Structure 1
Amino acid sequence: MILPTILTTIALMEPIKDSESPDQSRNTGLPAPAPVVRALGKLGEDLNRARRRRNFTQQEVAKRIGASLNTVKRLENGDLKVPLHFLARMLFLFGELDRLVTLLDSGQDEIGLTLMDDRLPKRVRHSKKRENAF
């Protein structure tokens, strides 16, 4: 059963201390969980590597995606506050947009499907219709 795995995953998402990351959510003021910071850091490194493999400068990428040089640098540094559409544009530039499209495909969401299956009734009964009820 996947439910204990979900609870374990949620328990591991402890917020990081303010001294570890200056990036905080704009709406809640809560620090980002450490796994989120690590994942965005890795994504930034991967974007940087993909850009260099294609022999693009940061300035060229910025121009092609309609962003500033600073935005590209922030993306590659894993900044939490970079708008998502710039990431999508960068993935499109690198020919990887399809990976974003299938990122959380509901048909492949094992946790969501398992949670839905756990809520299914054990059996289905149809109520008896009364004649002359009205």
Structure 2
Amino acid sequence: MVALNKLQKAPPYPVEQALKRLGENLRTARTARRMTIEDVAQRIGTGKRAVMDAEKGKASTGIVVYGGLLWLYGLLAPFEELADPLKDQEGLSLQSAKGRKRVRKSGGLDNDF
């Protein structure tokens, strides 16, 4: 039996609220396009329950369902830059502040046979 992720059962409050807002926005996008849950589920290759759960903002819904819905509605572009490490300004500044470089231990292998 697979262990349940604690984040799925009780995510932090800001995460829970963000997922609910995302779900509401996905529902609004679907209804604005005059699509039914059945149509959407068929187009992204999932079941009706998964779409309904995403629109409720359930944390247990797979990210691939959220991604599929965003793609279907043409809303995926703003999220693509989240995956670009060069646009993560905070991460870049933290990385440069560390100033560490990879160092190998001396005394390792040598060419002395």
Query: So what's the TM-score if we normalise by structure 1?
Result: 0.65
Match of 1:36 in 2: 15
- 1:83 corresponds in structure 2 to 62
Determine the structure 1 residue equivalent to 2:5: 27
Amino acid at match of 1:54: R
Matched with 1:63 is 42
**Deviation (angstroms), 1:118:** 1.4
Q: 1:108 aligns with which of 87, 102, 110?
A: 87
Unaligned residue ranges in structure 1 (runs of 5+): 1-24, 122-134
Structure 2 counterpart of 1:32, which letter? P
Q: List per-residue Cα deviations over 1:35-93 (Å, max 9, x = no partner).
A: 00000000001100110111111111111111111111100000001111111111111
The two structures, once aligned, show a CA RMSD in angstroms of 2.1
SS in structure 2 at match of 1:118: helix
Unaligned runs of 5+ in 2: 101-113
Q: Tell me the percent identity.
A: 33
Number of equivalent positions: 98
Structure 1 residue aligned with 2:72: 93
Alpha-carbon contact 2:24-2:55 (below 8 Å) kept: yes
Any conservation in 2 of the 1:88–1:100 contact (CA below 8 Å)?
Answer: no
Match of 2:29 in 1: 50
Task: Report if the CA contact (8 A) 2:82-2:88 is conserved.
Answer: no
1:34: how far off? 0.5
Once structures 1 and 2 are overlaid, which stretch shifts more, 71-80 or 83-92?
A: 83-92
| The 10-residue stretch of structure 1 (93-102 or 47-56) with the greater mean CA deviation from structure 2 | 93-102
CA shift for structure 1 position 28: 4.3
**Partner SS state of residue 102, structure 1:** helix
Higher helix share: 2
